[in-house]
A and B are shown apart, each in its own frame.
Chain A
Amino acid sequence: MPTLEHNGSTFQVDEDGFLLKGMEEWNDNWVDYVKSSEGISELTDEHTKVIDALQEYYKKNGIAPMVRILSKTTGFPLKRIYELFPSGPGKGACKMAGLPKPTGCV
């Protein structure tokens, strides 16, 4: 599995670039790394709100929320979430929050 370094932190990632050990290895340096790789120019409170919501939901449910639930809990319309995370909530936001990618018929 690939390993990468950013600001002195070392991260193990899977083939899709998601954190292999999830939130266990998640920290601010990871957020900073994903920010640049996802082409997000500046991290705002809105980004943080989405990440917090994802992590909180994941702790309770062991899976990322439905996008509509994310939209409801953050109060951001879907369009805004896509503006914040250009590659989408499943790829960009989940990756930044240290969540795994959902699998199955999706």
Chain B
Amino acid sequence: MAVPKLEQLSKSVVQGPSLATGAIPTRDWMDIPVHFKEGNYAYPAKKEKVEYLDSQKGLSFPNARIWSPEDDDWKLPEDWKEIILNGLKERLGKFRSLKIFMDCCVRCGACADKCHFFLGTGDPKNMPVMRAELLRSIYRNDFTLAGKLLGRMAGAREMTVGVLKEWFMYAYQCTECRRCSVFCPYGIDTAEITIILRELLHLVGVGINWILEPVSNSNRTGNHMGLQPHTYKDNVEFLADDIENLTGVRINPPFNKKGAEVLFITPSADVFAEPGLYTAMGYLILFEAIGLDYTWSTYASEGGNFGLFTNNESMKKLNAKMYAEAKRLGVKWILGGECGHMWRVLHQYMDTMNGPADFLEVPKSPITGTVFDNTASTKMVHISEFTADLIKHGKLKLDKSRNSHVKATFHDSCNPARAMGLLDEPRYILDHVVDWVEMPENTIREQTFCCGSGTGLNTDEIMELRMRSGLPRANAVKYVHEKHDVNMLSCVCAIDRATLTSLMDYWNPGVRVCGISELVGNALVLEGETRGELDDGLRTLL
């Protein structure tokens, strides 16, 4: 599916007939069916991936089959409606937040223009209030007295195949970034609405491959990429070879080392694909510089958790390896790399899902003595918190001039920013390693705009959608690119590193993407180094 040319797409966003440009829909939203065509949906999960997941203990992924959203018949189970309604009933009982979010929205519309998908597509059903309404209308019909008595007059409608298809369309045009929630006077968490929609769809076998294949890989090998232990080890060692070529310092990364003080877990993309590789080289250089007693794990070899994008059970199962490995290796605490959604899972769910991790200690930096009380329950520290603390105590020898080829800006990755409040630590690090500027105020910190491709939407067949939903972020980058010559978009998320690269290549050519730890690695002076002039830092090709 070819992506339209930039001129064409940008014109379409600002001039095309849509609610965002002032074209008022002529029909009631309930009467507008969804239409699937090549390019507006992510490919359905492959039959064998669904079968494999369904066969795994504790997981349920029924109705494996070959199907296409473009077909009229989605080959749903005969009793699909009963399954969906029972599934909703179960979740309303289980999750109080869902019940509250269904009941408390007053449809004030504060969220409407805060969503990057709405801004990029102008589709009214991408207003967060409407996205929730897709589910709320069914809730009203079957679970509230007003809806049962008054039906459509009370905003209720019956569950039909058309509604199910609409759910599939819009549950996969939301990245669970929670920017809308920041502006909601009631604090309705639209991510949770999307989570429930996706869970319900999985009950009848409706899901996408770009999510279920990583989930299946992660269940089998410990990471989304499907890197087996020997491959994982080879890849990290390959990066160590590159570092030796660049700096003259030989690093021997420890793997599965029992009794190490710290277990380090990061997204597997960091040890597989550019530009994440350079972030991973940054981690290696940092740990070497401070002589950290740590270990990589070839089992807990993934920080990310695409289970979060499917259902509660797979999220819990995939997450369990972190504490299990920490226990097996006998480490004191866990250090986590630059991943986005991983931190929502760790910060908000891990402790209650797979904890308490009472066999671990409250994390304490062996270099500075700082106790990370904020992680007293999860026992897991973010690499940016850890690095900022090292800098604050003067433990790193940094040469900012080694990043003189970079003029950076910082993209607050949605989950670290909004799901764990990591706002100042990355900025503190940047201040010490690189020349950088902020993007406009309403696009950073809590109000950060999503990359547009999170929650497993980073697949190529929906590239036009991704470029549309990423436009608000790209537009803010364009501003600092033009005004301050920014040439590097830094971030703390692996999905960002992959997707912002495509986004920049499309909207802002000349702006590259990196993790914060890459910039740290560039600037760090290692003992015994024989480093020449690296005019492109760790990316320099020798």
Chain A residues near B (Cβ < 8 Å):
1, 14-16, 60-63, 66-69, 72, 77-78, 102-106
The answer to whether B214 touches A103, judged by C-beta atoms less than 8 angstroms apart, is: yes
Asked whether A104 and B46 contact (CB < 8 A) given A62-B226, A63-B227, the answer is no
User: In the assembled complex, which residues on chain B have CB atoms less than 8 Å from the CB atom of A61?
Assistant: 227-228, 230-231, 234
Does chain A have a CB within 8 A of B43?
Answer: yes
B321-348 interface code vs A (CB 8 A; 1 in, 0 out): 0000000000000000001000000000
Alpha-carbon gap, A66 to B268, bound state (A): 12
- 24 intermolecular pairs with C-beta atoms under 8 Å apart: A14-B43, A15-B43, A16-B461, A60-B230, A61-B231, A62-B231, A66-B272, A66-B273, A67-B273, A67-B274, A69-B238, A72-B238, A103-B209, A103-B210, A103-B213, A103-B214, A103-B226, A104-B225, A104-B306, A105-B273, A105-B495, A105-B498, A106-B225, A106-B498
Alpha-carbon gap, A68 to B460, bound state (A): 22
The answer to whether B238 touches A68, judged by C-beta atoms less than 8 angstroms apart, is: yes
The answer to whether B273 touches A106, judged by C-beta atoms less than 8 angstroms apart, is: yes
Alpha-carbon gap, A15 to B274, bound state (A): 25
Does chain A have a CB within 8 A of B269?
Answer: yes
Q: Which of B190-248 contact A (CB under 8 A)?
A: 209-210, 213-214, 217, 223-228, 230-231, 234-235, 238, 242
The answer to whether A68 touches B277, judged by C-beta atoms less than 8 angstroms apart, is: yes
> How many Å from the CB of B98 to the closest CB on chain A?
28
The answer to whether B304 touches A66, judged by C-beta atoms less than 8 angstroms apart, is: no
The answer to whether A104 touches B277, judged by C-beta atoms less than 8 angstroms apart, is: no
Cβ-closest chain B residue relative to A67: B274
Alpha-carbon gap, A102 to B214, bound state (A): 9
Chain B residues near A (Cβ < 8 Å):
43, 46, 66, 209-210, 213-214, 217, 223-228, 230-231, 234-235, 238, 242, 267-269, 272-274, 276-277, 304, 306, 339, 458, 460-461, 494-495, 497-498, 541
The answer to whether B267 touches A105, judged by C-beta atoms less than 8 angstroms apart, is: yes
Cβ-closest chain B residue relative to A79: B541
The answer to whether A105 touches B217, judged by C-beta atoms less than 8 angstroms apart, is: no
Which of A15, A77, A104, A106 has the largest count of B CB atoms less than 10 A from its CB? Answer: A104
User: In the assembled complex, which residues on chain B have CB atoms less than 8 Å from the CB atom of A16?
Assistant: 43, 460-461
Asked whether A105 and B46 contact (CB < 8 A) given A15-B461, A68-B242, the answer is no
The answer to whether B231 touches A105, judged by C-beta atoms less than 8 angstroms apart, is: no
User: In the assembled complex, which residues on chain A have CB atoms less than 8 Å from the CB atom of B461?
Assistant: 15-16
Cβ-closest chain B residue relative to A63: B226
Which of A1, A69, A78, A104 is B268 in contact with, Cβ under 8 Å?
A: A104
User: In the assembled complex, which residues on chain B have CB atoms less than 8 Å from the CB atom of A104?
Assistant: 214, 217, 223-225, 267-269, 272, 304, 306
Alpha-carbon gap, A63 to B217, bound state (A): 11
User: In the assembled complex, which residues on chain A have CB atoms less than 8 Å from the CB atom of B234?
Assistant: 61, 69
The answer to whether A105 touches B458, judged by C-beta atoms less than 8 angstroms apart, is: yes
Which of B227, B339, B494, B497 has the largest count of A CB atoms less than 10 A from its CB? Answer: B227
